Chains A and B, each alone.
Chain A
């Protein structure tokens, strides 16, 4: 083999090795990029598998409680006068006569949760003999 032929063979071998190295480096780089993207999605809570599972679980769970948003209300009141006269100990009573009202009985106010249809109004807390 001539010297020129030997050099040509050596050059081709070097070129083949560099090409293989380039392919390997590109593969590793691509892999690392994919891993980085997946890691970022996981960190952001965007894992599609996990979300799909959670969604399915939520779909399977029956609704156990009626959740309703109510608000406490301030009630304006007129003191019951005959009560104080009879008992003599009912502070806040101011005189005689029938009990009168200055306001309608309070109704619970349902706020607007982003649910439809709106649930039935919940009762205001009330104690009565059972």
Chain B
């Protein structure tokens, strides 16, 4: 039985939570503090809501080629990788579309619409598709010069893959700071990365909160890797015309996607990979989501509240 030291704080418009095996002692305390420092720097550089962030400066830069920091370079590489893996569904160039849908300011602390009100809108289940122009393909990275080249005015958003990347990078940091085999969990707003399971220790038990169906509790067991959840319930609002909107945009239309799936939880090797799978599954609609999730495991919740666990060898279901 592992006993954990725990800390949590608000950042990146969400709740950040850290668990580290308490037997790691001083190294664990150092890792907790270092992880928080790292994420605060991550947020300062990559938040679109900070006018002084590097991301805001990049989006406002009229030059075609811009030198960027190592962190920005890593983020851009990860965002492009997620777009490639999702065939353009997890598109980092949807900032203008999500702002047009009404998501211009941080919604940290802002209550979403009641889930029933959100789901009442999406009676039609239409799979999302990629933007045929694939503007993300115009983003070119030069590793040697550490520059990015893209059409000026192309707005890049860190919302699609930022939290998963952040969880992975904290895990990388902790791998250097903690004794080998130390158990830990990094949770960046539902994108969770766990430490490798050491010999003799129990696997990680991760609860899955589904929405709708909050009364149901599912659990995944992980021996390592990551799990992430993507859903439309927690960031929803009424747009300027009083229509229900949310933050998961269909790249083919530039509008909020209504695919019949309310949330998806996916397992992956990394939090970025899990987040990419979860978003891709949600945007793809139920048939493809089942295929995507069956490989590694996950949970799908549709608009009727039906909870579908896939590959439940790693899963227990309880109410």
Contact = CB atoms under 8 A, between A and B. Distances in A.
A68 B7 CA distance: 8
A105 B229 CA distance: 20
A123 to B, nearest CB: 7
Chain B interface size, as a band, is 35 or more
A82 B301 CA distance: 13
A128 B312 contact: no
A108 B55 CA distance: 39
Contacts of A70: 3-4, 6
A66 B29 CA distance: 10
B192 interface: yes
A64 B216 CA distance: 35
B309 A69 contact: no
A80 B33 contact: no
B316 A90 contact: no
Interface of A: 64-73, 75-80, 82-83, 86-87, 89-93, 99-103, 105-106, 111, 122-130
B195 interface: no
B307 A80 contact: yes
Contacts of B163: 130
Interface in B305-319: 306-313, 315-319
Nearest to A71: B1
Interface in B212-269: 216-220, 227-235, 263, 265
B190 A65 contact: no
B39 to A, nearest CB: 14
B219 A75 contact: yes
B233 to A, nearest CB: 6
B186 to A, nearest CB: 10
Contacts of A130: 13-15, 163, 189-191, 229, 234-235
The B interface is mostly helix, strand or loop, or mixed, namely strand
Contact of B185 (A92, A125, A128, A129): A125
B99 interface: no
A72 B207 contact: no
Nearest to B319: A101
B5 interface: yes
A90 B229 contact: no
Contacts of B209: 126-128
B91 interface: no
Contacts of B312: 79, 90-93
Interface in B27-51: 29, 32-33
B290 interface: yes
B235 to A, nearest CB: 8
B230 A87 contact: no
Task: Tell which of A69, A76, A78, A90 has the most Cβ of chain B within 10 Å.
Answer: A90
Interface stretch (B120-128, B143-151, B173-181, B198-206): B198-206
A125 B192 contact: yes
